[in-house]
Structure 1
């Protein structure tokens, strides 16, 4: 099955990812052979590394591990193909330019009715590949284009969160719709449902998150397949399943959370009134 990973911090952090190990948290190793990708934000642009091959034997991943890239916003995806062949153009995260900024999107789930969804059709954005995920991303950007006008005019977070939440409510009617979306300023995460590796049933939670404060001495986050380092800063991590022994919090089914600079800045959903 697909796996998602997102990181938000108030200062650049080093996130060392073993995607092959991350994939095994959510299912058997065979689920990591249809492509993968990592996007590291650099201001309003991204350093994007994607591949259509296996995540357990990749020179590109070895390159990523050797260079210890730093970023305050990271998004990663491990693909299990359901719609569209395992090709480079179908690897995620997907990226597009809007208002002089690079926007990124990664999705876990299956949206069989999206081709007939007239409310998600886009005139301005077209998919490069054949996935339902990329079609959904194009539909989301079509809506966001109404509030993104110039690179220097970042729309209010509440306005963006409302649009992302409305979009999430529509696509989850088509099927499991866990996704990460970022405009370079904030990371938006929607937790829905996912297939449980133990039971085979599709249930909530679709995503979990962890909030952590790194001490001035630089004590970070360490787990099986994940190491995050950064001194004296706030870090929030979103993933498909818990990656460390720390107490991760589950998304309520249908909940959307907006992270910025390592903190929760807003949320929408059934349990949105709970404390951040």
Structure 2
């Protein structure tokens, strides 16, 4: 399985601290050695970096870690291949244009029978079930809306599409249209929000600590979403499976829970539903 990292902030923010923890899991502290990618938004556009090499040994990952690219929305992914060979075309996050905006998408999990979902306008470049799911979602949005809809309408539609994909297997997802960072939990995602008063944080995967009080302003608000907690001394909240979070300007603008239909979830997911809390 892969790992995800997303960030939404109300001011352009440096994600290098969290990214450093994720990178170590790509071949050192974790098995996710089959490529990595990261996308930083700037307005409607996004600059992206991809590498099929393990992130823990990637010169490009070290370059990102040494340069503070500040952004309001970031999506990152480290891959453990299950469908599609290790190749640049199969590294997340994937990107496409719709309504004059760059959309980016990263996925953790496996989707059975995804190839049966018909595609129209968008075509995968690689061979992953993830990219097929992304193309299908954008096709559905193009059919539903002729122009960019209000955020609230988009929130509801993306929640419904995410639930349909989650019925095919495990669907943990990060998606953005440059306005909103969407995080759908099919099985496992956690989040935390950093706001004043800021404190210190220590990475789990690297001997590194930061005092956010020295790095942020009093009105800053940043929400980080990850497959698993990246720090040992902050409170990470599990996102309830079946929930879509819509993050705007660092805050949870909407939390949409979709109760799965009977028989469509495993006992493991149902047990997680009872234990996990909303973010």
Whether the 8 Å contact between 1:20 and 1:32 is mirrored in structure 2 is no
Is 1:240 paired with 2:237? no
Change (3 A) 1:100 1:35: same
Whether the 8 Å contact between 2:38 and 2:74 is mirrored in structure 1 is yes
Q: Give the Å deviation of 1:214.
A: 4.5
Distance 1:254 1:275 in 2: 10
Is 1:223 paired with 2:217? no
| Alignment length (residue pairs) | 254
Partner of 1:208: 190
Is 1:188 paired with 2:182? yes
Whether the 8 Å contact between 1:45 and 1:101 is mirrored in structure 2 is yes
Partner of 2:137: 140
For each residue in 1:20-40, what CA deviation from the matched residue of structure 2 results, as whole angstroms up to 9, or x when unmatched? 742666997452210100100
What TM-score results when the alignment is normalised by the length of structure 1?
A: 0.84
Change (3 A) 1:62 1:185: same
Is 1:103 paired with 2:103? yes
Q: Show structure 1 runs of 5+ residues with no match.
A: 194-205
Partner of 1:158: 152
Partner of 1:129: 126
Partner of 1:171: 165
- SS of 1:184's partner is coil
- SS of 2:184's partner is strand
Kindly indicate which of the two structures has a greater share of residues assigned to strand. Answer: 1
What TM-score results when the alignment is normalised by the length of structure 2?
A: 0.83
Kindly indicate which of the two structures has a greater share of residues assigned to helix. Answer: 2
Q: Which moved more, 1:21-30 or 1:166-175?
A: 21-30
- SS of 1:104's partner is strand
Distance 2:180 2:169 in 1: 25
Whether the 8 Å contact between 2:170 and 2:186 is mirrored in structure 1 is yes
For each residue in 1:227-247, what CA deviation from the matched residue of structure 2 results, as whole angstroms up to 9, or x when unmatched? 674323111110001112211
- SS of 1:31's partner is coil
Q: Give the Å deviation of 1:141.
A: 0.5
Q: Show structure 2 runs of 5+ residues with no match.
A: 260-272
Change (3 A) 1:222 1:13: farther
